[in-house]
Structure 1
Amino acid sequence: MDRDIVGFYGAGMMGGGMVRCLLKAGHPVRVTPNRSAAALAPLVEAGAEQVGSVEAVAQGAAVIVTCLPDADAMRALADRIAPLLGQGTLWIDTTTSDPEVTKDLAQRLAAQGVTLADAPVTGSPAQADAGGLASLVGCAEADFARIEAVVSRWSVSVRRFGDVGAGHSAKLLNNAVTQGTMVLLAASYGLARRAGVDWQALYDVMQVGAARSGTLEKAVGPALQGNFDGSRFSIANAEKDLRYGVTMMERLGEDCTILRAAQAQLAALKAAGHGDAFVSRQLELPISASKI
């Protein structure tokens, strides 16, 4: 894949760093604007080729990489570019998506000789820039080496979790923990404020006990200094991920009361106009612990 053209869709906060990692490794990368061409300017300056349409990104690309908002966006893109993909094309989806949609698309694409693998990531935009993400891969075992060669450009940890869809399932489970923890932290620190409990003291105790977590450090640590944007992930995206997680568990016949409650809290914040806010902003928004 050393000189194969990579068609990249979704070069935003996370995707932009992934594109830069591909370019640093010498891979030709093709992109097209989503909302604004200006947003792609730094990537074009770094060597990416900007083209004028979604279809032009796919033309002749040996590898497709997607980093999209949700499963609906993946379906819509597939409808547009699938007919353009040649036999042997590898499509790596890093979107946090619905595993069943992924399986359906993979089956559809396999009929024309295209391999679709799910490889969502964990980490931050800064880690994406530095090639320090982790990739959760779902693919046939025989395809893993080819996929790993691509995703290792932006990841320090690449693990196969099972066949197609397993990577997305694993990511939803991961996000059930991280975003469920964020909702619980927001409720707990809201109660602390109302009960007259010192936030710094509570944080210091949590840092040396079993409540310590990356979510605590990323969200509450900066908030103590007045920065409520420490966890740079939108409430709308978190709600979507937990909604997909609830759906996945329901398909498995599991009772997911806790996850459903956290998703409902995020849905309420989104409905109240806070969807674009980062999840750590929940620490200053009105959160009712009685509903969680």
Structure 2
Amino acid sequence: MTQTQETIGFVGTGLMGHGMAKNIVEKGYPLTVTAHRNRKPIDDLVSRGATEAQNLEELASASSIVFLCLTGAPEVAEAVAKLIPGLKEGAVIVDCSTSDPTVSVKLAGDLAEIGVDYADAPLSRTPKEAWEGTLDCMVGAEEGVFDRIRPVIDTWAGKIVRVGGIGDGHRMKLLNNFISLSYAALYSEALALSRKVGIPIEQFDAVIRGGRMDCGFYQTFMGYALEGNREAHRFTLANAYKDLRYVEAMANDATVATPLASAAKNAFAMAMATGGDGPEDYVPHLTDFVARANGLD
């Protein structure tokens, strides 16, 4: 068990956050959580030793480090505004969401004025690794802040890289998702074309799997296309679309042309516009939308 003077608050116990928070409390940190829409993860965490706060101000007042694992920049900004009245000088907010780095930099400046530190520490991998405590984490933070928060991140991450200063974690996460979500768009189009020219998915996979084009993302993605497992990679199409819009915004600020990122974004926009905006419409399901657009079942 970890012995520490830090007290942890966790906001956003969804697909990723539930497993992360579970690891924090099970490895000895005092943990405070608060309910939003779904009580099931809160009840589970309380059963493991966490304390439930009635609101974000109460959670902030009980915590020296607050982790956020939310949908995007608007939700993060809203949560921080509600946390501020309860935050003590010397506290740290760690944003594990995939967010807009310009918002991260602004929030960090606002928090610095009240003596609160900020770090962006977005994630890679899936809810399975969150539960197992083996996520990848890319951190943007001042060195001293990174040293302070790293032992807590160690409870739920297997790979931790300090990318640089504030905002750099979110910048790197957008680059990471640009690559992975472009794979998803590429695989979906390739699978549609494969079927159109008469090559079954099983034969397509037999060639790719184990070869130079294989990778971990391909394997989880194909868990749906090949095996029909709808929960093979539980990252929603809506979040993917949001992330690729953030990639475009970051590129616009940097005056970088992004024909490939924009093409990938448009694949997800098409899925969103044709019914893929539900809470259980996940990235591998993009294959269905691309197939239907090409006259396939």
Partner of 1:278: 282
1:176-234 Cα deviation digits (max 9, x unpaired): 01111001101110111122112111112112433212221111144322224322110
How many residue pairs get aligned? The number is 289
Partner of 1:140: 142
Partner of 1:120: 122
| SS of corresponding position for 2:275 | helix
Aligned-partner Cα distance in 2 for 1:43–1:271: 36
Equivalent of residue 46 in structure 1, options 45, 48, 61: 48
Matches within 5 A, 1:230-269: 230-269=232-271
RMSD: 1.5
1:41-71 Cα deviation digits (max 9, x unpaired): 1111111111221221111311110000000
| SS of corresponding position for 1:182 | helix
Matches within 5 A, 1:44-123: 44-123=46-125
Aligned-partner Cα distance in 1 for 2:229–2:39: 30
Q: CA deviation at 1:84?
A: 2.2
Partner amino acid, structure 1, of 2:140: G
Q: TM-score, with normalisation over the residues of structure 2?
A: 0.93
Aligned-partner Cα distance in 2 for 1:130–1:2: 22
Equivalent of residue 169 in structure 2, options 148, 155, 167: 167
Identity of aligned residues (%): 32
> Contact between 1:88 and 1:115, CA under 8 Å: does it hold in 2?
yes
Q: CA deviation at 1:75?
A: 0.8
| SS of corresponding position for 1:92 | strand
Q: Which runs of 5+ in 2 are unaligned?
A: none
| SS of corresponding position for 1:91 | strand
1:239-261 Cα deviation digits (max 9, x unpaired): 11111011111111100011011
> Contact between 2:61 and 2:88, CA under 8 Å: does it hold in 1?
no
> Contact between 2:224 and 2:284, CA under 8 Å: does it hold in 1?
no
Partner amino acid, structure 2, of 1:200: E
Runs of 4+ in 1 over 3 A off after TM superposition: 286-289
Equivalent of residue 11 in structure 1, options 9, 13, 17: 13
> Contact between 2:9 and 2:66, CA under 8 Å: does it hold in 1?
yes
> Contact between 1:223 and 1:230, CA under 8 Å: does it hold in 2?
no
1:234-282 Cα deviation digits (max 9, x unpaired): 0000111111011111111100011011112212211222123011111
| SS of corresponding position for 2:290 | coil
| SS of corresponding position for 2:44 | helix
Aligned-partner Cα distance in 2 for 1:49–1:187: 47
Q: TM-score, with normalisation over the residues of structure 1?
A: 0.94
Partner of 1:32: 34
Partner amino acid, structure 2, of 1:24: E
Q: Which runs of 5+ in 1 are unaligned?
A: none
Aligned-partner Cα distance in 1 for 2:250–2:170: 10
